[in-house]
């Protein structure tokens, strides 16, 4: 994992924690939602991830006229044999970058999200499995909402984590300016792993020990979000499971074979901030910042096992 992260660090500089979270998400077997203003390297990050792990990669630019068939694939008429054959769409890759997901109409979004949830594509009565490991990295631009179809809350739940990269530190930006001309950042990324290794990592992470005390801690955090006065809808059971899976994946970082409360706390905001629905969108404060703020407050209030 460190190797993958190091390769990613070459492409996206100055973001060690976010890079760590991205790899955690990959190892946990979840899908990732990157939400940030344009131009901070969302796409670069996803591509670098594909390269470092030697995963087959496809980038789908979501637009208003994109139809489900455009991403899933379509039956085409094969004239010589006079039969219909299935031509798989760009979705049949191990790592799919769904760029500007919220630009596509809801029908297309749900086709993608269904594929994400099931790991397979159903079309015309045929069920076609997607390649393993299958990971979707979706991006969306939180600022310019005009002409977009925001993702419904229930579909946000399908993403294991939501991350935002944020602008790089000034010194990193300065270094970027000086080196960018020399070579493209993606060229520096070498394949250090393979799909088999990613699958093995996933299997390993899923088998890690989650102590009863830590499990209870996760549940108590979920109950706290459900009972919090400012939260309309707290963390769901799927959210609890997601946090557990992510915490397991994070434990592999330190070569631990058990999950600590610190893992849970570190992943609380990326895993849950997009899953809780706030009661009141306080004017002037963006809902995502508010959710993160509330979750941190909850993490402070709920006593961790010692």
Where on the chain is the footprint of other proteins (CB under 8 A)?
63-65, 67, 69, 74, 105, 146-147, 209, 211, 213-214, 227-230, 254, 256-262, 265, 279-283, 300, 304-306
Q: How far is the CB of 52 from other proteins (least distance, A)?
A: 24
In DSSP terms, 1 is beta-bridged to none
**Pairwise CA distance, residues 259 & 265, whole Å:** 11
Residues 267 and 161 sit within 8 Å (Cβ to Cβ): yes
Tokens of residue 97, six digits: 């970058």
Residues 89 and 71 sit within 8 Å (Cβ to Cβ): yes
**Pairwise CA distance, residues 277 & 193, whole Å:** 38
Nearer to other proteins, 234 or 261 (CB): 261
Nearer to other proteins, 180 or 279 (CB): 279
Q: How far is the CB of 183 from other proteins (least distance, A)?
A: 29
**Pairwise CA distance, residues 76 & 239, whole Å:** 40
Residues 160 and 268 sit within 8 Å (Cβ to Cβ): no
Nearer to other proteins, 180 or 209 (CB): 209
Q: How far is the CB of 177 from other proteins (least distance, A)?
A: 26
Q: How far is the CB of 64 from other proteins (least distance, A)?
A: 4
Nearest to 224 by CA among 299, 285, 151, 283: 299
Residues 205 and 251 sit within 8 Å (Cβ to Cβ): yes
Nearer to other proteins, 197 or 230 (CB): 230
Q: How far is the CB of 69 from other proteins (least distance, A)?
A: 7
Tokens of residue 158, six digits: 């399908």
**Pairwise CA distance, residues 49 & 45, whole Å:** 6
Q: How far is the CB of 181 from other proteins (least distance, A)?
A: 28
Nearer to other proteins, 180 or 258 (CB): 258
Nearer to other proteins, 90 or 105 (CB): 105
């Amino acid at each position: 994992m460190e190797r993958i992260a190091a390769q990613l660090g070459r492409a996206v500089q100055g973001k060690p924690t976010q890079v760590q979270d991205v790899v955690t998400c990959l190892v946990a077997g979840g899908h990732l939602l990157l939400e940030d203003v344009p131009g901070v390297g969302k796409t670069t990050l996803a591509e670098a991830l594909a390269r470092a792990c030697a995963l087959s990669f496809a980038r789908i630019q979501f637009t208003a006229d994109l139809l489900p068939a455009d991403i899933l694939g379509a039956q085409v008429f094969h004239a010589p044999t006079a039969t219909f054959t299935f031509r798989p769409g760009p979705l049949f890759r191990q790592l799919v970058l769904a760029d500007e997901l919220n630009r596509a109409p809801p029908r297309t979004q749900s086709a993608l999200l269904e594929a994400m949830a099931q790991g397979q594509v159903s079309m015309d009565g045929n069920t076609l499995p997607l390649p393993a490991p299958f990971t979707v990295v979706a991006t969306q631009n939180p600022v310019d909402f005009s002409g977009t179809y925001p993702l419904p809350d229930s579909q946000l739940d399908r993403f294991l984590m939501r991350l935002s990269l944020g602008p790089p530190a000034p010194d990193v930006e300065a270094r970027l300016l000086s080196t960018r001309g020399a070579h493209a950042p993606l060229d520096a990324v070498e394949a250090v792993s393979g799909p088999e290794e990613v699958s093995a990592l996933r299997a390993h992470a899923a088998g890690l020990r989650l102590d009863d005390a830590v499990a209870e801690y996760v549940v108590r955090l979920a109950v706290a979000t459900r009972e919090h006065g400012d939260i309309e809808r707290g963390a769901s059971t799927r959210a609890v499971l997601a946090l557990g899976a992510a915490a397991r994946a994070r434990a592999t970082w330190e070569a631990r074979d058990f999950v600590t409360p610190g893992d849970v706390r570190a992943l609380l905001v990326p895993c849950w901030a997009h899953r809780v629905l706030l009661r009141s969108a306080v004017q002037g404060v963006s809902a995502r910042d508010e959710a993160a703020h509330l979750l941190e407050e909850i993490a402070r209030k709920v006593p961790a096992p010692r």
